[in-house]
A and B are shown apart, each in its own frame.
Chain A
Amino acid sequence: MSPRPGFVLEVDRSTPPTLFWHGEGFRLEKLPVGSRVIYPPEPLAGIKDPRSAIREALDNPTGDSEPLSALLKPNMRVAVCFDDVSLPLPQMQAPDVRQLIIEEVLERLAQAGVEDIRLIAALALHRRMTDSELEHALGKRVYEAAKSAEILTQHDAEDKENLLFIGKTDRGEEVELNKYAATSDLIIYVNINLVSMDGGHKSVATGLASYRSLRHHHNVKTMVHSKSFMDRDNSELHSSNWRMGKLIKDSGIKIYQIETTLNTNTFPSQFAFLQKREWEWGLKDRASFLAVSESLKFTPPWAARKIFQNVKSPYGLTGVHAGEVEAVHRKTLENVYKQQQVDVTGQTDILTIGLPFIGPYNVNSIMNPILVHCLGLGYFFNMYKGAPLVRKGGVVILSHPNRPEFDPTFHPSYIDFFDQVLPESTDPLVIEKKFEERFATDPWYIHLYRHGHAYHGVHPFYMWYWGAHALDHLGGVIILGGDPKTTRRLGYQSASTMADALEIASSIVGRDPSVTHLHSPPLLMANVH
């Protein structure tokens, strides 16, 4: 049976309660009659033999590019760069698609006798991956080989000696990249596209860049003008990256881009109910939902986090394309939209979203309040094409415990951002002007970023800017079931029940509002007409 497309359900009296993610737990909420629930399409079938598909893609490139083997010469230098731990979410069951691709790439590099190679984790300002994360992403074979040959590195955006200034775009945006990659004869970039924001020129222009370069598009103005940053053609974030990509190409840097898309088969069988529509839950699904949700009530947050962070997704590969960056990315976007897009007519007054335990920046870590903001108002709010799901001046209700918990190893600058910046202002423009420079150049944060596993000092600012378009667009944000004090610190309102949340929202958008719920998991992208 072919997978069913996504659709919009209108809630009636017989509609069962709707499942909401609530951090490391769930809520079942009865939405008002007449509300809409946007259900994502079912997972597409994965490619049965991914290795053969990868070989096929490398031999038959997309766009103006020769097959990979034809590009390789014995005395050349090659940088094999790959997406970091922020993709995919949750981490995929072994073998990770990066492993499959890099094994095939290394095989061809060996065949061609290319000795001078390096594997580079394209981190940008993200935290360095741990050894076990690298081993999972690359697979034991590649990890051990690369470690013993000392060719496995992680991009360091603060290693001044290993950065190369490429030039300025026609809009004056500076481009500074990893020196080894920029001086290589060929960059082979291995990407995973979970959402339409990833990939394209953003892979190299962001993944291998420094703060000097990133600040030109990771800023409030760009984010407010990215409507949305999930829609490449209407995203200023992407326009800036594309300008940088053109400059990189014109400066003679050759990129062979390998992009992959995954289906939305996100949870293993014990969480099968998460992948189903509520009225289709069988006895087993209802029993496992009850068992999981009831036991989570008695589980301390740290233990629940450990359980959920250990979930590995049985994703299937839906596409792999290799060759010229832009041509490859066009194919990739087609695949992403084919899996995630749902047509929706008209905007809504109130948009409800359940936030899960994981986002791109808290893999194996804690979803702190700033990441809650980023995930809700950055990622989920922006999962649209055309117009935002919620009208101008509307309200977003986010369901999450929003506890004031932070991971001091991975997110040290987030703690200071929460304690020092947010009490002064939650306005992204004020924050950017007054605090960004200090955090970005703080030597202690830089030290922790370079030698520990900390996100860069400026990273919490970017997380706040990620929600700038939503803050500019919305009339209010309510966190359902969140810690009230923490929620107020973010500048939002807090509600303990859905009825309360809708009541508060009504005071902003007026009586008898329209309500739409963005059903997740799995991921969906609303094409709003």
Chain B
Amino acid sequence: MKLMRPNSKVSLLLSKPLRPITLEEGPSRSKLGSNYDTAWSRRYGVRLLRAMLLDTIVRPGVEVIASPEIKNQDRIDHLSAPVIFAANHSSHLDTPVVLSTLPARFRHRCVVGAGADYFFDKRWKAILWSGVLSAIPIERSKPSRRAGELAVKLVKDGWNLVIFPEGGRSPDGLGQQHKTGVAQLAIRTNAPIVPIYLEGTYEILNKASKRFRPGKVTASYGAPIYASESDDPRELTKTVQAAIDRLADELHSDFLSAARRSAKGETPKLAPTSRGWIEKWNRVSPLSRGEKENRWPTRLFNR
């Protein structure tokens, strides 16, 4: 029988001792994930530092990388905090872009909903994101009373919330079905939801990218959607998703055409019905854009 060698002093110092597998696992005492306490990141001094960081580093940085064009922001001129900003999500750049384009009265009193499993799984990440972005943990895969209660409390306390109802970055730049958390939050807090359509962040930095490819981003703001306690969260979720779809349509056509298509239920959807190649091909194929002939053979014959 070979005896295990005792740990060296160095490895004893550096590696955490393993838990005997025969022992039953007790209740979790983890202080990470949705249990991470972000209260420190909303203290005045931290907020002041974050505001300076946002205005002197993040915003100029976003300007260089993404030169965001803000559209239709007059639709939120009359709003005051708290507001829930719900945007489509395809890049880590989405949060800095939204924060950079928000009017100052919202920007400096804002928390960002971030996946507890991704942004709060390590202590350094939790400190970094809650400090820099004022992120709060949101459970994406399972319901969490603590995370939900924190978001409700903060919104009721007058904090604005930036959240991505798709629940995570799009793998292919197309939209994803929204989760109902945003609607539930709006129903419980009566705060208006402002839909935001972001375009161009996927091309700059997406899930598969290893580096930034500077480009141009457009952030189009929609009219606020008001929720009441009697609303059905699923219906409200559909309304928010349709509002973002319509903003995308409006960006590529015009206000009236988008309104007409929306009234007829013909607004093109950002989220595909399937993620197979046919759906993707249909989106890039010239025939789907209503062009009579395929360009490719025409060009070929014209040579």
Q: Which residues of A contact B (CB under 8 A)?
A: 48-51, 94-95, 103, 106-107, 110-113, 139, 141-142, 144-146, 148-149, 151
Contacts and interface: CB of A to CB of B under 8 A. Distances in A.
B259 A110 contact: yes
Which applies to chain A's interface (DSSP): helix, strand, loop or mixed? helix
Of B78, B256, B262, most buried by chain A (CB within 10 Å of CB) is B256
B74 A113 contact: no
B250 interface: yes
Contact of A146 (B78, B223, B250, B256): B256
A1 B188 CA distance: 33
Nearest to B226: A52
Contacts of B259: 106-107, 110-111
A110 B78 contact: no
A129 B259 CA distance: 26
A110 B74 contact: no
B264 interface: yes
A174 B72 CA distance: 44
Interface string B115-136: 0000000000000000000000
Nearest to B77: A95
Contacts of B283: none
Contacts of A107: 259
9 contacts: A51-B223, A106-B255, A110-B260, A111-B263, A145-B255, A145-B256, A145-B257, A149-B256, A151-B256
Contacts of A111: 259, 263
Contacts of B264: 113
A144 B262 CA distance: 18
B254 interface: yes
Contacts of A112: 263
Contacts of A139: 74
Given A49-B78, A51-B223, A95-B74, A142 B263 contact: no
Interface in B187-226: 223
A315 to B, nearest CB: 13
A404 B64 CA distance: 50
Given A106-B255, A106-B259, A110-B256, 9 more contacts: A94-B74, A103-B255, A110-B260, A110-B262, A113-B260, A113-B263, A141-B255, A142-B255, A151-B256
Nearest 8 interchain pairs by C-beta: A145-B254, A145-B256, A110-B259, A141-B255, A145-B255, A110-B260, A110-B263, A95-B74
A50 B257 CA distance: 24
Nearest to B79: A49
A145 B263 CA distance: 16
A348 B223 CA distance: 52
Given A110-B260, A110-B263, A51 B255 contact: no
B78 A106 contact: no
Contacts of B77: 95
A156 to B, nearest CB: 23
Contacts of A148: 254, 257
Contacts of A94: 74
B256 A50 contact: no
Interface string B233-267: 00000000000000000100011110110111000
A134 to B, nearest CB: 14
A113 B264 CA distance: 8
A145 B251 CA distance: 11
A148 B250 CA distance: 13
A149 B74 contact: no
A414 B151 CA distance: 65
Contacts of A106: 255-256, 259
A179 B5 CA distance: 99
A144 B255 contact: yes
Contacts of B256: 106, 110, 142, 145-146, 149, 151
B40 to A, nearest CB: 35
A49 B80 CA distance: 10
A149 B254 contact: yes
Contacts of B262: 110
Contacts of B78: 48-51
Contacts of A49: 78
Contacts of B250: 141
Contacts of A145: 254-257
A112 B250 CA distance: 19
A402 to B, nearest CB: 39
A151 B257 CA distance: 12
B263 A149 contact: no
Contact of A141 (B254, B260, B263): B254
Contacts of B255: 103, 106, 141-142, 144-145
Given A110-B262, A110-B263, A144 B254 contact: yes
B296 to A, nearest CB: 28
Nearest to A99: B74
B117 to A, nearest CB: 39
Contacts of B223: 51
A148 B256 CA distance: 10
Nearest to B72: A141
A139 B250 CA distance: 14
A110 B265 CA distance: 11
A151 B256 CA distance: 11
